[in-house]
Every structure is written in C-alpha cells, then in structure tokens.
Amino acid sequence: MLELHHRENCPYCARVRRYLEDHHLSYVSVPVPKLGSERHPTTSLANTTSSEVPVLVDGETVVQGSDAILEYLRGKVEEGSFGDPNYGLSRKLANVTFEVAMEATRQALAAEGFGVLTEIDVQATLRKKLDVEFPRYVILGACNPQLAHQALTAEKGLGLLLPCNVVVAEDPDGAMVVSAIDPVAMFSVVENPALRPVAKDVQAKLKRALAALQSTEAGAA
C-alpha cells in the first residue's frame, strides 16, 4: 500500500493527492506537522534529504518532492494496451497468472458482498464466432444484492446499467489488469440525486476489492 506523507494546505501535496485519487490509487494518508523541525518520522525515512513534503513511500522505495512523485506514479499507472479508462477503477498485477488473478478477484468481490451473476470469456467467444485470436479477457457481472435493491428502488430503469462489470485481462507484457466500472461515472448518466449515495457506496466497495488484490501480487512475488 502506498503511503503519502503530506500537509493539508500544501499545494504541492494537493497535486499528488489529486493524481492518486484521479487514478484510483489507494494510499495511506500520513499528515505531518506544519513545522519541518517536528517531522521526525518523515525525515528519518531513507532517501529524504530535507523536511520537504510530499514524500511517497512504496514498500522500500521512498520518493520526495511532488515532481519526482508524479513521475514515479506515472510509471505505476501505465496500463499497457488496456489503457487507463476514466470510467473504470483499475489495478495492474505483475507476477501473477491469469487464473490466480481471476480467483483473487472473485474472492475480493465476495469479501465486499458481490456475487458474480455472469461470466463472459471474450477470448473464447471471438475465437468461436470470428476465428480470431484475442488476449485473455473475461468480463464478470458483479452484483451486491443490497445495494442493487436500493438502486432499483430509487430508479426502476437502472437495470439497464446493471450488473457492475469487472474485467480481468492479460496485457502483452504478461501482467494482469483488473478493472471495474466506476459506478459514480456510470450512474452519472441518470439524473436522479437519490442514486448518488448508492453509487458512492458501490464505488467504495469496489475500490477496497481492488486494493485487496495487492496482497495477491505481493504473495506471488
């Protein structure tokens, strides 16, 4: 899990927080005191040369300064051929097999109350119907019954946008990409304020599910 040492009113810190949030990168927030002389936990980190914030900690890697951090993060969010869709919540997993990524995704969704209602094997379908080859790509139709009930009660036609799709795909570099639809972006096409808190709840659950996949990557490394 990424760890960000920052100060609330620091504009350089705000740049990094905004990038992390825009790219759906989960992180632990570590607020620091206003006075640099009181930032001992931060200044004691390896590779820090001053009390300057922000400072990003990623495992054993420590990056200081907003420009350096943003450059580092751009490398982390590179999603290969899958891209980094602004309507999705995505995580790239290295050093895991497709089967491991699939099973881990199912377990992470289940831990957040999602069942998988549908499963579409895009690779197998395109091979059968068009006789073309395509990388491994499976679409899972995930549904949290309680939240689906709330959403359908507020907007009967919302079934057109359900269930929430989660994609497990293989990139050419061998890494796996797990990407879930961002329900806030998806529900934005419906002009019903009652859906906003439901969309936020679903988004939070999907973000936690994706964050849980990091332990799968670490375990396989």
Residues 49 and 156 placed together within one structural domain of the fold: no
Domain end marker among 26, 55, 76? 76
Q: Return per-residue pLDDT of the chain as tens, 221 residues.
A: 789 999 989 999 999 998 888 776 778 999 998 887 888 878 888 888 889 999 999 888 999 999 999 988 877 665 456 766 778 888 888 889 999 999 999 999 999 999 999 999 999 999 999 999 999 999 999 999 999 999 999 999 999 999 999 999 998 778 899 999 999 999 999 999 999 999 999 999 999 999 999 767 656 64
User: By C-alpha distance, which of 174, 175, 184 is closest to 207?
Assistant: 184
**Domain span at residue 186?**
80-220
Question: Do 157 and 185 fall into the same domain?
Answer: yes
Question: Considering the entire predicted model, what is its pTM?
Answer: 0.66
CATH number at residue 56: 3.40.30.10
CA atoms of 189 and 192, how far apart (whole Å): 9
Q: Do 35 and 144 belong to one domain?
A: no
- Whether 178 and 159 have beta carbons less than 8 Å apart is answered as no
Structural domain tally of the chain? 2
Final residue before a domain boundary, out of 76, 92, 110? 76
- Regarding whether 121 and 41 lie in a shared domain, the answer is no
**What type of residue sits at position 113?**
G
* Rounded Cα gap, residues 172 and 167, in angstroms: 16
pLDDT at position 200 is 95
**CB of 198 within 8 A of CB of 147?**
yes
β 164-170/115-121 pair status: unpaired
Name the strand (E) or helix (H) holding 31: strand 27-31
Instruction: Answer yes or no: do 23 and 98 share one domain.
Output: no
**Based on the domain organization, do 96 and 140 belong to the same domain?**
yes
